[in-house]
Amino acid sequence: MTLKAGDFVTIRKGVTIKSTHPSSPVKAAGRTYKVQIRDAYEATKVAVGHRNYNAEGVVDYESFSFYDRRDPARIEAIYGSSDPEQLGEHLTEGERYDRPDGTSHTSLFLAVDEAKVVWAGAGGYWCYVAQKDLPEAQETV
């Protein structure tokens, strides 16, 4: 199910909630309750390189480079390594672009933040929870 602003979702007891509240930026939900979503965000991804294909559609070569000097540290904190050779299973491809000679290329991405929903919490401070922790996000239509 795609979550969007205005939907109601269930915050289950024990789920980790992040907040802009200065006294409790991270806490576990003390009870199960419903909230109305203010915004829903997809996972944040950063470009980490390119994959090139030959005319037969087989990977010809990959090149990796971090476009933001902060990315290696962010990626290492999430995945335990910033070495592209060790991150293969976490890489996702962007749109594939065909060249006139029959070869093609695509950008490679790594997620640096998970999909989340936001709602107004106590005192008007924003609260965030990962979409994977919401039962409504698991439902299929």
- Give 41-92 pLDDT, tens digit per residue: 988 888 888 889 998 888 888 787 777 667 788 788 888 887 777 888 888 8
Beta bridge mates, 46:
110
pTM, two decimals, is 0.62
The residue with tokens 């950008």 is 107
pLDDT tens string 3-51: 889 999 999 999 999 999 888 889 999 999 999 999 999 888 888 888 8
Provide the 3-class DSSP secondary structure of residue 79.
helix
Total residues belonging to the chain: 141
Q: How many Å apart are CA 45 and CA 33, to the nearest integer?
A: 30
Q: How many Å apart are CA 117 and CA 129, to the nearest integer?
A: 6
Mean pLDDT value across residues 94-116: 89
Token digits of residue 75: 């990626």
User: What are the extents of the domains in the chain?
Assistant: 8-41+114-138, 44-113
Do 16 and 30 meet the contact criterion of CB atoms below 8 Å apart? no
Do 117 and 48 meet the contact criterion of CB atoms below 8 Å apart? no
How many other β-carbons are positioned within 10 Å of the β-carbon of residue 19? 18
Per-residue confidence band for 1, with pLDDT thresholds at 50, 70 and 90: low
Closest C-alpha to 90, from 58, 112, 106: 112
Task: Give the number of C-alpha atoms closer than 13 A to the C-alpha of residue 33, restricted to the C-beta side.
Answer: 11
